[in-house]
Amino acid sequence: MYKVVKNIKLSKNFSISEFVCKEGKKEVLCDYKLIEKLQKLRDKINKPITINSGYRSKTYNKKVGGSPKSQHLLGKAADIVTKGIDKEKIKEIAIELGFTGIGLYDIFVHLDVRNNPHPRGYSFWDNRTKR
Ligand SMILES: [Zn+2]
Tell me the domain boundaries of the chain: 7-126
pLDDT for the residue 1: 66
Please tell me the distance between residue 96's alpha carbon and the centre of ligand 1 in angstroms.
19
Report the CATH architecture of 7-126: 2-Layer Sandwich (3.30)
Length of the chain counted residue by residue: 131
pLDDT at residue 3 in the model: 75
- For residue 30, the CA-to-ligand 1 centroid distance in Å is 14
Ligand 1: centre distance to CA 70 (Å): 7
How many whole angstroms from 101 Cα to the centroid of ligand 1?
A: 9
pLDDT values of the chain reduced to their tens digit, one per residue, 131 residues: 677 778 899 999 999 999 999 997 789 999 999 999 999 999 999 999 999 999 999 999 999 999 999 999 999 999 999 999 999 999 999 999 999 999 999 999 999 999 999 999 999 999 999 76
Closest CA to 57 of 90, 79, 33, 27: 27
**How far, in Å, CA of 28 to CA of 18, rounded?**
10
Beta bridge partners of 81: 50
Instruction: Output phi, psi for 96, to 5 deg.
Output: -55, -40
